[in-house]
Amino acid sequence: MLLLLLTAAFTTAHGGNVTYDGRSLIIDGQHKILFSGSIHYPRSTPEMWPSLIATAKKGGIDVIQTYVFWNLHEPQQGQYDFSGRRDIVKFIEEIQAQGLYVTLRIGPFIESEWTYGGLPLWLHDIPGIVFRSDNEPFKVFTILSLSYYNNFTTKIVNMMKSANLYASQGGPIILSQIENEYSMIEGAFHERGPPYVRWAAQMAVGLQTGVPWAMCKQDDAPDPLINTCNGMECGKTFKGPNSPNKPSLWTENWTSFYQAFGEEPYLRSAEDIAYNVALFIAKNGSYVNYYMYHGGTNFERTGSAFVITAYYDQAPLDEYGLIRQPKWGHLKKLHAAIKSCSNTLLSATQTTLNLGTKQEAYVFRKSSTECAAFLENTDNKAVTIRFQNIPYSLPPKSISILPNCKKVAFNTAKVRTKYSTRTMKYGLQFGSNEQWEVYQEAIPKFDETSLRANKLLDQIGTAKDTSDYLWYTFR
């Protein structure tokens, strides 16, 4: 009986195999073009999760991407919380139930406009610690704790394994990420930076999740980790994979931008997003993640300094999970046009044709009858070009997608989705103080305090993240 059970488990793992080559991720032996959307479980309520995931799927999304928020789960060392909005297993299981994949960005540092970048505050008190560097205290307390199962990254991986959530176990997680945009600060660590990158990669692979690992904005991501792109124009800015055996993945296509107090919302058009996605796919990209697809809310004190509670409200799904048009609808049509010729895109060789001074064609031809093309116009004015002796009118700054190299199925600049407006109405009027919850900070009296120091006190080290305030008297 034991032998039979082990055989069955091995068969399941084999059936969910995820690998990659120079063209794309390969799931169950099939190359895939994947559209992903970032939805962070603690920035919405569990009651919202099914609707958010279902609406994303309806919009042509294949993958839900989320960070893992260390300081939310381990606010005190060794004391974990996976309840309510923190229930990451429940969130991923809901994604699986709706037939979508998952990309899990473990960190341990995540940024994400989240307080302390996701690092728990108690790390601050570890003697000799230097965050995100080739520093033994940081590595010990983040990854290789002597108490193996109390280690956070290992704990998260083991939680996923226990729930059979990795694709290698038949689950939905097809890709994991370690660290986050480290190249932006790597130089500040001088000789301690590169060894940390290599160590983090080696550690991640050693956890044996059965799925690939990625490092975003890390051009020197060590093999076998995939280096990926973040930004708004990865079709133009991405230097490409650092190995011919790795695919082109875009882990953050910013649908808007985070908003700080006093700033106006950043409005990125549906046309601009679609144009850059189409260009990335035309240049052999195979995975695009929208950051954010639903931003949600920075509840309580989780937002980083100056960031408002509404997070990426201008995303395809707004703060409340409502569809924001035309972004949602325009991108849905883009996804459908690309998916209609994905087999050709993944199996044919791409060639580039010059159609004018500022016009190009990206052609994927597999046979005389199987062909797909992207016709790009980078000019600020409309032009008419000829492709295969057929005239095509291209709007300014646009790409036309021809799934059969003949008929235009989609143009990034032609928005045929109606604009939506969001209106609010009173649902409940508070009539008494008893219906409000008010948080009050304690204002101490100096004579009743006991803490004294012969130096200026550090707010974080003194308040231990229990308050944003430090009352003090000094002389």
| Count of C-beta atoms within a 10 Å radius of residue 74 | 18
The DSSP result for 427-461, as a single string, is: S----SGGG----------GGG-----SSPPPHHH
Q: Where are the alpha helices (DSSP H) in 324-400?
A: 327-339, 342-347
Residues 6+ apart with CB under 8 A from 31: 21, 23, 24, 25, 286, 346, 347
Strand partners, 65: 38, 103
Which H/E stretch holds residue 252?
A: strand 248-254
CA distance 335 to 347: 18
Return the number of other C-beta atoms located less than 10 Å from residue 471's C-beta.
Answer: 13
Phi, psi for 370 (deg, rounded to 5): -115, 110
Rg of the Cα atoms in the chain: 25
Give the DSSP letter of residue 87: -
Give the whole-angstrom CA distance, residue 428 versus residue 460. 38
Residues taking part in catalysis: 181, 252
Per DSSP, what are the bridge partners of residue 349?
365
**Cα gap 141→146, rounded to integer Å:** 9
Tokens encoding 28: 């169950």
**CA separation for the pair 122, 134 (Å, rounded):** 19
CB half-sphere exposure, 106, CA atoms < 13 A: 25
- What span, in angstroms and rounded, lies between the C-alpha atoms of 251 and 289? 5
Nearest to 230 by CA among 244, 212, 215, 213: 215
Cis amide linkage into residue 222, ω under 30° from 0: no
Q: Tokens at residue 401, please?
A: 């997608």
Q: Does the N-terminal peptide bond of residue 391 adopt cis geometry, omega within 30 degrees of 0?
A: no
In this structure, the number of other CB atoms found within 10 A of the CB of residue 318 comes to 20
